[in-house]
A and B are shown apart, each in its own frame.
Chain A
């Protein structure tokens, strides 16, 4: 099973839920941090780092003597990475999306294959044997989807090789990075908080993810804070609430110390164990307990 843990709003508790679920998961599992802009899962799972690999995007490098200024590449490029100024072709590798189109259309072999560093992929082991896979975007790099694609490719290999489930910590929002993170999942777990901001962004997340046709469940974090419209929405849309985490200062303090919520006390452990059962039921096609 592949579970993607997502939300519209940031800071609703995606990482808290991902880390705790990983810690209590009863089958082999790989924890995957696809929030490559601000990866945080390792701060709670504290993996011992085994390998770090640089991830690059293939970008064009100009061979000026071969370029005939035919404009085939600059007319094709949709991202303004290639442009002709006067009698020179200018290459702006930071604008490149890595589509490879310029190599295809250049009739003069004037573009060589170079690289732009997107970031790194880190693999570590948490608690002895739980593999943790993290993507970390280079500061200054604007495009996270290409790095995410690389991590997704690797996570699929790891799941297959180890016959393991995947728990994916997704980035906030509902645009391309968030969509990228939930694409491969069997089940989407939405983490929300019952405040006006939380509810608004929760509806956006539902609108973005519902067309994918995947089963979805909900965790209500900071239950008791704000208002109760999220509950009515879940009921109306048939979204099962698989766990609630109460709004309590000691929980916020436990998190601030870097503690795992599932290990705070036996009641919290029980809440996460029943969350796993709920996810298993959703994955088997049983939507309600």
Chain B
């Protein structure tokens, strides 16, 4: 199975707009939006849901005020500051509860319940570019890494059922838990960066993370014409570190215009910008192993 994961470190470099274009250009593939926290790919792909399910992950502690003797041991032992004294009893602040069960195990009065936590919804859908697996974590919820792993698993199963050997995934910004989960078993990490101080700084960290997990890394410089010095610095970094440069794209308002029309930028009338996107996709495809 060949898996391309599009990531960036810094947010807003153009991951999702470019993933949509590659989704348009790629032949048989499963699409996957691994940005479960603030997913946007569905806005361009307008998926029709075929199956969906609840994402339950972890638990949360709930104190029964009828059983609580207000000894305060739970609040003392909670390392997440999630338990506060309220009106002669104690209460768990759900947004701070880590689900570690320490309070449940130590409560001398068995006054704390440990309930399943409903964190989000996953979807398997059809789009005009092919099957898509995506999800929405409920706002403010955690365990996004586990939801990313679940989506990857579903995408692989779907690919096997349909005899497809390419998964194209849109990733999430940052270098933490959901990004690490998204890189698991990836064939190629495609980093979309921009020639700004933040773009360059964040590229170094995300590329280090890919190296840490020994994943082949390709770099696409978006909005390259905003600053030539930074563009050249990024290209020098790629040469030194062995990241494959797949091309430069200029800053172009077409990307936003296509977004407003709910289209991939390659679905607009043929023009110099989207021809470059096509060329870049060919380069990316050439980096993949042949089946």
Contacts and interface: CB of A to CB of B under 8 A. Distances in A.
Interface of A: 8-12, 15, 35, 37-38, 40, 43-44, 76, 78-79, 97-101, 104-105, 137, 139-144, 149, 171-177, 179, 183, 195-197, 200-201, 204-205, 207-208, 211, 225-227, 249, 252-253, 255-258
B278 interface: no
Given A104-B102, A200-B43, 6 more contacts: A38-B174, A98-B79, A99-B101, A140-B212, A173-B172, A196-B40
B226 A37 contact: no
Contact of B40 (A9, A183, A256): A9
Given A174-B37, A196-B43, A258-B197, A142 B139 contact: no
Interface stretch (B47-55, B202-210, B267-275): B202-210
A37 to B, nearest CB: 4
Contact of B256 (A43, A104, A225): A225
12 contacts: A38-B9, A40-B197, A137-B175, A139-B208, A142-B176, A142-B177, A195-B259, A196-B259, A197-B16, A197-B40, A256-B226, A256-B227
Interface in B81-104: 81, 95-96, 98-102
B38 A173 contact: yes
Nearest to B42: A200
Contact of B98 (A99, A140, A183): A99
Interface in B175-204: 175-180, 194-198, 201-202
B226 A253 contact: yes
B198 A177 contact: no
Q: For the complex, would chain B's binding face be called helix, strand, loop or mixed by DSSP majority?
A: loop
A38 B38 contact: no
A10 B40 contact: no
A142 B178 CA distance: 8
Contacts, number: 175
Given A139-B175, A175-B137, A40 B201 contact: yes
A146 to B, nearest CB: 9
Contacts of B79: 98-100
A8 B37 CA distance: 8
Among B105, B137, B196, B206, the one with the most A-chain Cβ atoms within 10 Å of its Cβ is: B196
Contacts of B140: 174-175, 179, 208, 211
Contacts of B102: 76, 99-101, 104
B137 A38 contact: no
A175 B37 contact: yes
B141 interface: yes
A100 B58 CA distance: 17
Contact of A140 (B16, B80, B209): B209
- For the complex of A and B, the 6 pairs showing the least CB-CB separation, nearest first, are A10-B11, A11-B12, A208-B139, A99-B100, A37-B174, A256-B227
A40 B175 CA distance: 13
B71 interface: no
Interface of A is mostly: loop
Contacts of B260: 195-196, 226-227
A101 B101 contact: yes
B249 to A, nearest CB: 14
Interface in B115-147: 137, 139-142, 144-145
| Residue of B11, B43, B99, B106 with highest tally of chain A CB at under 10 A | B11
A179 B283 CA distance: 39
Contacts of B77: 100, 104
A10 B227 contact: no
A28 B262 CA distance: 45
Contact of B105 (A40, A44, A105, A211): A105
Contacts of B80: 99, 149
B251 A252 contact: yes
Contacts of B11: 9-12, 172
B201 to A, nearest CB: 6
Given A139-B205, A175-B140, A176-B142, A78 B58 contact: yes
Given A78-B99, A101-B102, A172-B11, A177 B176 contact: yes
Nearest to B141: A175
A175 B144 contact: yes
Contacts of B156: none
Contacts of A98: 79
A158 B40 CA distance: 38
Interface string B141-172: 11011000000000000000000000000001
A149 B262 CA distance: 39
A9 B8 CA distance: 13
Contacts of B10: 10-11, 38, 40
Nearest to B198: A40
B91 to A, nearest CB: 16
B59 interface: yes
